[in-house]
């Protein structure tokens, strides 16, 4: 059996794109059925209204499943990138925890978060009541 490149679902990305498109289509169809339910709400045909409501319920469930599938495929894509080290750009804007703890501080002055001017306990004790 030969593999053809570019077939649908050959990759997680192509499956993700398909699920996104399917979710959009389901959402549009659901809007149409909602409009039909509104239009038929005063109708003399209660069975038709019941059928439309059943279809709407099924479409809501399908929309939920499509959204869950999209998130699962996105998670799988992220895991594959992590496992196979496909992420090439590393963020430089996030400070490293090691560099934060190794910053020089003066032993004679307390750290800024502990200074009396910002310490809430000393502020409330000095304040007249």
DSSP conformation class of 22: H
Cβ contacts of residue 109 below 8 Å, gap of 6+? none
Q: What is the mean pLDDT of the chain?
A: 76
Q: Are 56 and 34 in contact (CB under 8 A)?
A: yes
CA pair distance 57, 111, nearest whole angstrom: 59
CA pair distance 102, 83, nearest whole angstrom: 31
CA pair distance 9, 15, nearest whole angstrom: 5
State the pLDDT confidence band at 76, using cuts at 50, 70 and 90.
Answer: very high
Q: Is the per-residue pLDDT at 116 higher than 70?
A: no
Tell me the pTM.
0.58
């Amino acid at each position: 059996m030969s593999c053809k490149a570019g077939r649908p679902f050959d990759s997680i990305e192509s499956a993700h794109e398909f699920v996104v498109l399917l979710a959009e289509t389901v959402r549009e169809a659901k809007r149409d059925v909602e409009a039909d339910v509104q239009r038929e709400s005063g109708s003399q045909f209660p069975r038709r209204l019941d059928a439309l409501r059943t279809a709407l319920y099924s479409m809501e469930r399908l929309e939920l499943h499509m959204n869950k599938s999209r998130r699962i495929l996105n998670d799988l894509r992220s895991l594959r990138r992590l496992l196979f080290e496909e992420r090439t750009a590393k963020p430089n804007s996030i400070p490293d925890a090691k560099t934060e703890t190794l910053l020089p501080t003066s032993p004679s002055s307390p750290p800024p978060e502990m200074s009396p001017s910002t310490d809430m306990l000393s502020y409330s004790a000095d304040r007249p009541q």
